[in-house]
């Protein structure tokens, strides 16, 4: 019997743009090689450390970890660029801002949340109700789902 496992590799930012990182790394390596004294860290120190780590995380946008094609799709959805009819209409490049379903203007929100033409793809990608914020600004996995949904629907430039 064989088992398959899915492993997700994730790049974890170690520095978060703090100056003097190289020096800190060097000192950390030196420190790790020496004897490890028992450290008694106060509750306050622990919470400060955890909060600092969380702040670093919230600064990152998983968009940057997507492949090029996914990035293009997410970027265009976020900015309403290029092929979204509502945007094209504003630029007088499309005859109508309407989506081809005829129900509403073709915006990212319409495509990802409401468009009946994409309902099947949306259900396959998001079996549970998912907000537009998660679809456009969520973690890498969520952004990949969004790109997949648009890709599978055959919406291209
Ligand atoms: Zn539509």
148: containing domain: 65-152
Q: How many domains in the chain? A: 1
20-56 pLDDT tens trace: 677 777 877 777 777 666 667 778 777 777 777 666 5
Residue 26 lies in a domain: no
- pTM here is 0.56
Residue 114 lies in a domain: yes
pLDDT bucket at 146, cuts 50 / 70 / 90 = very high
Residue 18 lies in a domain: no
116 Cα–ligand 1 center, Å: 6
Q: Is the pLDDT of residue 18 over 70?
A: no
DSSP string, the chain: -------------SSTT-TTHHHHHHHHHHHHHS--PPP---HHHHHHHHHHHHHHHHH--GGGGS-HHHHHHHHHHHHT-TT-HHHHHHTT-SS-SB-TTSSSB--HHIIIII-GGGHHHHHHH-SS---HHHHHHS-HHHHHHHHHHHHHTT---
113 Cα–ligand 1 center, Å: 10
Residue 138 lies in a domain: yes
Residue 24 lies in a domain: no
Residue 22 lies in a domain: no
Residue 88 lies in a domain: yes
């Amino acid at each position: 019997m064989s088992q398959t496992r899915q492993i997700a590799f994730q790049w974890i930012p170690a520095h978060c743009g703090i100056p003097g990182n190289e020096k800190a790394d060097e000192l950390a390596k030196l420190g790790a090689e020496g004897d490890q004294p028992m450290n008694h860290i106060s509750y306050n120190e622990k919470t400060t450390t955890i909060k600092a780590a969380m702040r670093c995380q919230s600064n990152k946008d998983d968009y940057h970890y997507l492949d090029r094609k996914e990035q293009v799709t997410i970027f265009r959805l976020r900015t309403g660029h290029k092929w979204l009819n509502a945007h094209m209409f504003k630029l007088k490049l499309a005859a109508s801002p309407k989506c081809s379903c005829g129900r509403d203007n073709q915006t990212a929100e319409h495509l990802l949340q409401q468009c009946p033409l994409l309902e099947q793809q949306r259900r396959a990608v998001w079996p549970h109700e998912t907000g537009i914020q998660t679809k456009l600004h969520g973690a890498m996995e969520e952004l990949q789902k969004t790109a997949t949904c648009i890709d599978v629907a055959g919406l291209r430039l």
